[in-house]
Chains A and B, each alone.
Chain A
Amino acid sequence: MNTERRSELFKRILTFTKPYGGYLAAALVSAVLSVSLALYLPVLIGRGIDQILKPGQVYFGQLAPILLKLMVVALLAALFQWLMTLCTNMVAYKTVRDLRVAVFNKMEEVPLSLIDSRSHGDIIGRIINDIDSISDGLLQGFSQLFTGVITILITLVYMLSLNFKVGLVVIVITPLSLFVASFIAKHSFQMFRAQSAIRGQLSGYIEEMVGSQKVVKAFCYEDRAQDEFNEINRQLYLAGVKSQFYSSLTNPCTRFVNGVVYAAVAIFGALSCIAGSFSVGALSSFLAYANQYTKPFNEISGVVTELQTALASAKRVFALIDEPAEQPDAPDAAQPQQSQGNVEIDHVSFSYDKNHPLIRDFNLTVKPGQRIALVGPTGCGKTTMINLLMRFYDVDEGEIRVDGTPVKQIGRGALRSLYGMVLQDTWMFKGSVRDNIAYGKPDATEEEIIAAAKAAHAHSFIKRLPQGYDTILSEDGGNISQGQKQLLCIARAMLTKPSMLILDEATSNIDTRTELKIQKAFAEMMKGHTSFVVAHRLSTIREADCILVMKDGQIIEQGTHKELLQKQGFYHQLYYSQFVQTEE
């Protein structure tokens, strides 16, 4: 990352803190005040010590006001330190919230292709961890950097004004501490990288072997796994000792540099005292400074690495924020509430990737109440049709019309609400059964919800759940079966009384009885409605008004069951291998 990019990123983060500029300014002012007051304390202590010379030579009259001042300054320094932390927290936490919300909201607006093509774990990582590291590195880190720098500057000012010569000694030794800190940071960074590479390798191995422990046992692989594990583990030990040792050098080394500064101040200070140009109290102030002097250097070198991680995170976060949103609906877009069920697909071409054209010049006219079945081997791209009908993706060429209106001239929300969609890949969110059913119609009454559940044959199993409709489903409905989830999805779609249907029949993993219920529910739903069904059941296919046969993402045949069988093409082959078993 070059410097220009960096400062650009930094500026962008600053724009996010803009609404909290007041807090930010207050934090900076408090920081300057708190640091200068805190650094004034050693001066006051030194002056106090100068009033305590020897028996009979203690000037209590002068000492009292100095101590009073000391106490007031100490309290004020503490107060401003507190204010500084409060204000930085405000800025940091509020900015973090705003960034998170900004990324999340963007994810609600981007085209589906982005969400389909990215790893969800990666996006979540950006929303959660990366933004946290921006907060740690840039906001907290920045405040540390700021206080660090002003501590160094103010210390220098105080020291030079107390005694120029001794102050100069400290300044001369300063580069030493910088050098030591950066030397260690550079070396330990390399070691850390080596260590985390091996650690990643070990975690990967653990994930595989522990994650698939049952396979390991089935193949009696335990001993070999242990050997392989021990080998990686041994390498991690070697790398770990090195990186930990190197990184733990920082403290003792800077402590030593500190000691050298301290001793130098002691010697030069004491000699100046003997020469009479310096008081013992001033010497003690100097020593106090020398003691704290290397601390900000340490902190700054720590912050620098944090800043780098934070900038890398910022880059990842802004990359998401900068993703273009879906083209918004036209202001005069139609907002139909109902549809008669006419769907025309007119010379449509579509591909996910320009190099792999999928659907070419596809035509289909669907009349109200017709049933369209999509068939083909697994992974043939049957969901592409769903994507186009629901306008999750836009067609490249041609047009899809609903009741004569091109879908691009219909509001997305309105278009989608014309369809009731039940996908095989069921989706439940963490919440009650009731809320999950009412997802498409949050203001549904209890009667409507129960009626939908009954129509979907879901009512009886819901009533048997521990808390009935109030049962909380765990993430993705982990506590109910796949078939039950599908029934809830059907109920959810039924509740909104859609004009048309998009259904995805389950292939397997559902027990026979639930399967029968689902089929019944599907059949009832489809009565009188235009429907598109990704079909696996023979009965669904045979009763369809039109079958679209898909292979490798393309529609290769279309027609009724009879027509297609007569054609003796791919459908014929599929039909006989799938549904009619010939004797072997």
Chain B
Amino acid sequence: MLKFTRYLKKFWKETLIGPAFKLTEAIFELIVPLVMARIIDVGIANRDTVYVLRMGAVMILLGLVGLGCALICQYCAARASQGFGTVVRSEMFAHINRLSHGEIDQIGTPSLITRITNDVNQLQLAVAMLIRLVVRAPFLVIGATIMALLINWKLALIFFVAGPLVALVLYLIMSRSVPFYRIIQRKLDRLSLIARENLSGVRVIRAFSRQKREKARFLEASNDQMSTSIAVGKISALLNPLTSTIINLAIAAVLWFGGIKVNMGEMTQGEVIAFVNYLNQILLAMIVVANLVVIFTKASASANRVSEVMELQPSITNRCMAPVEPKPDSPKILFDKVSFVYPDASDYALSNISLEIGKGQTIGIIGGTGCGKSTLINLIPRFYEASHGSIQVDGVDVQNYPLGQLRRKIGMVPQKAVLFSGTLRKNMQWRDPNATDEQIWTALETAQAAEFVRRMPDGLDSVILQGGKNLSGGQKQRLTIARALIGSPEILILDDSASALDFATDAALRRAIASLSGEMTVLIVSQRANSVRYADQIVVLEDGHAVGIGTHDQLLQSCKEYQEIYWSQNEQPQEGGKAE
């Protein structure tokens, strides 16, 4: 948690001023019982009305000044904690932007999102509490004890019994109940899991008439969650009754022994009242301390989750910032004995792939799920680093490119069609922020998207909702293709990006891309043999091995795996052929 103090640096003034003013307010609060004691012992005893009024005014004044101090402190706390959160969020976002795919996979995007939102909020709350309460509560406990000691140290010994007792009760109850809250949360998660399963599997459940048993399953899980909640509730319900009992017994003791002291002339009546007040103050402050412990336990868990992200080192970085010069007459892309293994995986996702792709060529990559198709193309923009071998673009090893220069050469159409909230135009300007409407329309034409975009009432200004919810799967895919085409990339990568298109649109799209100027190198990843059939080269992948490289006709002759795929999707030759 200490690591996080550096984010507070910018707000060091608030971080120091806040608690200082809070302390002042606490001091005033401690003085009030003393003033009251004076009113009783001097004012009432001497029947001095003026003295009473003067002391009363002092009390109100103390309150006013205290209020001022508290306001300053709260303001500092608000600024420092919100500022802290803002800085942490911003740095975390920047850090995530620097991470490469490997690290993102390692933590997982949903978890990254909760960490940058919920966990940072938790830390922010802890900082606010740090400034507002961390100094105040313990100070009140200690201060009240010291004041009591100053009034009469012998009677104050009662504090040294009651205080630790209250602390012990707090410790015992909280150490027994707090860990259970996580268990309750887990049981609640189970309830939502069952609910989710029942909604997504409603057809299967009803097909097998399992509703009754599902109800029983949910009831059982609910009962389980309920009984844990009740059990924990029984423990934490003890907290307030036990602590207030201790304090009230201590008050009885103060009255008895205080009575003896007053009788002997060691103390006054007003001082006994002040003692009682201090005891009550201690009780309140101790309960605040207990709540702080809970907040900080939560915060430290959040702090760990945030630091875990911040400590991840991006595995792929720029080796040099200076742009590199392409070597003329070299192949556009060259895979030289490339192998790749995902971290923590035992098997190679790609083994010993060698491939030469010329400028302007169209390459098809085909194979079943998990055969390494996406992995292969992810190595070109250096999303992952090859484990062995090397990849060259324009004759230069991809590791020697500044990342920006390398990636700007490539127009990427990912498997999952992702669009961002905002206007359609803004989505189209991702590769090139200065793309003109004309350029956008040309790209939309090629991607077979112009027709439906034209039919949208606002055209390029149409608003796309988060995740592109207001578009169909096929529309989204065509827009992501158009987005990649803008700014004329040297290399276009289509990662199984036509799966939601019907076959006629798919064919038209391929024709349109083929007719673009011959400079662009195109890589098409697909599961459909017909999508890659007319490529200059087809790479057939199976379990990370390139089991065939060649044209459609060559592969149909020689490659068993390609035949299998092709004939499962196309009409078989009438005379016998392969059995299904």
List A residues at the B interface (Cβ < 8 Å). Answer: 38, 41, 45, 48-49, 51-58, 60, 63-64, 67, 70-71, 74-75, 77-79, 81-82, 85-86, 89-90, 93-94, 96-97, 100-101, 104-105, 107-109, 112, 115, 120, 123-124, 127-128, 202-204, 206-222, 224-226, 229-230, 233-234, 236-237, 240-242, 244-245, 248-249, 251-253, 255-256, 259-260, 262-264, 266-267, 270-271, 273-274, 280, 283-284, 287-288, 291, 377-379, 390, 392, 412-413, 416-417, 419, 421, 423, 427, 429-430, 439-440, 442, 475-476, 481-483, 496, 507-516, 519, 537-539, 577-581, 584
Contact = CB atoms under 8 A, between A and B. Distances in A.
A79 to B, nearest CB: 7
Contacts of B499: 507-509
Given A115-B199, A510-B368, A204 B466 contact: yes
B83 interface: yes
Contacts of B210: 439-440
Nearest to B43: A270
Contacts of A124: 192, 195-196, 199
Interface string B341-367: 000000000000000000000000001
Interface string B82-109: 1101100110011011111100100001
A89 B371 contact: no
Nearest to A127: B195
Given A67-B256, A584-B511, A226 B97 contact: yes
B214 A52 contact: no
B428 to A, nearest CB: 11
A267 B298 CA distance: 45
B245 A75 contact: yes
Kindly list the 10 A-B residue pairs having the minimum CB-CB distance in the complex, ordered from nearest: A511-B368, A259-B63, A252-B70, A74-B248, A413-B209, A78-B241, A267-B56, A85-B237, A55-B265, A89-B233
B208 A93 contact: no
A418 B552 CA distance: 46
Given A93-B233, A218-B410, A476-B200, A417 B209 contact: yes
B256 A63 contact: yes
Nearest to B417: A215
B234 interface: yes
B418 A215 contact: yes
B264 A221 contact: no
A82 B36 contact: no
Contacts of A229: 90, 93
Nearest to A221: B430
B237 A128 contact: no
Given A52-B255, A217-B383, 18 more contacts: A52-B262, A54-B262, A55-B262, A94-B226, A115-B199, A124-B196, A128-B192, A213-B97, A226-B97, A241-B78, A251-B70, A252-B71, A252-B74, A256-B64, A416-B207, A427-B200, A508-B499, A577-B507
A412 B206 contact: yes
A512 B204 CA distance: 26
A52 B255 CA distance: 8
Contact of B96 (A210, A221, A496): A210
Nearest to B199: A120
Contact of A215 (B32, B193, B264, B414): B414
B158 to A, nearest CB: 13
Interface of A is mostly: helix
Contact of A97 (B75, B226, B259, B511): B226
Contacts of B191: 100, 127-128
23 contacts: A52-B263, A67-B252, A67-B255, A67-B256, A77-B244, A104-B195, A128-B195, A202-B117, A209-B420, A218-B383, A236-B82, A249-B74, A252-B66, A255-B70, A274-B44, A378-B474, A416-B206, A417-B207, A417-B209, A427-B204, A482-B369, A510-B368, A581-B507
Interface string B55-72: 110011011101100110
A86 B234 contact: yes
A574 B95 CA distance: 49
B322 interface: no
B518 interface: no
A127 B62 CA distance: 50
B249 interface: yes
A579 B466 CA distance: 36
